[in-house]
Amino acid sequence: MNTICLRDGYADGQYVLPPLPYELTALEPLLDAETLDLHHSRHHAAYVAGANDAVARMRRIARGEESESLVPAVARQLAFNLAGHMMHMLYWGNMSPERGQRPECCLAAAIDSSFGSYDGFVRVFRNAALGVQGSGWAVLATDAVSHELVVLAAHRHQDALLPRMRPLLVCDVWEHAYYLRYANNRANYINAFMNQICWRTVEKRFNQNKEKKYGCQ
C-alpha cells in the first residue's frame, strides 16, 4: 500500500520529513499541487525542524549547557511540533487519489456499531471538522477504554493525541491546508475530503487494534 507509516518519520537519530505517497497533482481537484507542496514542504517540514530543535535543546539543558528554567517552554515546543509531525503523516496517508472508497469488513461493522451507519459517521465527522473554531483537526479514533470509535475535535496537534486514543483518520482544518483552493469555504473542502479518504489505510490502522466484538477474526 502506497502510504506513510509513523516509523517513516524518524531516521538516523532525528525526525525526518517523509516524501508524499503520491504526486503533487494526484489529489486534484481536492487539493491543487501548489497547496499540497506548500503544506508538505514548508508547514510539515517546519514541524519536523521544530521537533528536532526542541530535542536538541532539551539535551543541552540536561547537560547543564542551557538554563533549566527553559524546560517548560521547550517541552511545549516539542509537544506541539512532534504532534504536528505525527498528525501530518497520518493525514497524508489517509487521503487517496482514488475517489469514492467506502469502509469495508471489520471497520464498516465498527462504524455501524458506533454511529449507526456510514452516513451517520459522515454526519458526525463532517460537522466536527466544520465546527472547529479557528485551526485544528477532526479525528476518528479508537477509544482504548470503551473500545468504541469516537470522533474528536482538536484545536492543537497534541490535543488530537490524547492518552488512550488511537487516531485512525484525521482531517486537517488549519487554513493552510485548504485556503488556496477553497478560500474560506471550509465546508467544500471537508465535503471533498470525505470523498478522497483512503479507507484501506484507515482499515489497516484499525486492524492493528481491532476488537472481536465486531465479529473480526
Taking the C-alpha atoms of residue 93 and residue 20, their distance in angstroms, rounded to an integer, is: 8
Asked if 91 and 171 touch (Cβ cutoff 8 Å), the reply is: yes
Assigned domain for 169 exists: yes
Which pLDDT value is given to residue 1? Answer: 45
Domain range for 187 is: 105-214
* Structural domains of the chain, count: 1
Residue 57 lies in a domain: no
| Closest listed residue to residue 91, CA positions, set 182, 183, 188, 160 | 160
The pTM of this model reads 0.92
What is the CA 33 to chain-centroid distance, rounded? 19
Tens-digit pLDDT profile for the chain (217 aa)? 456 778 899 999 999 999 999 999 999 999 999 999 999 999 999 999 999 999 999 999 999 999 999 999 999 999 999 999 999 999 999 999 999 899 998 999 999 999 999 999 999 999 999 999 888 999 999 988 888 999 999 988 887 777 778 999 999 999 999 999 999 999 999 999 999 999 999 999 999 876 555 555 5
Residue 130: what residue type?
A: L
Is 69 part of any domain? no
**Of residues 162, 22, 23, the one with CA closest to residue 170:** 162
Cell numbers linked to 99:
475517489
**What's 183's domain CATH number?**
3.55.40.20
Tell me, yes or no, whether 148 lies in a domain: yes
Give a yes or no: residue 48 inside a domain: no
Specify the 3-state DSSP secondary structure of 52.
helix
Is the Cβ–Cβ distance between 128 and 138 less than 8 Å? yes
Whether 117 is covered by a domain: the verdict is yes
Q: Confirm whether 66 is domain-assigned.
A: no
Is residue 111 a contact partner of residue 197, using CB atoms and an 8 Å limit?
A: no
Q: Is residue 79 part of a domain?
A: no
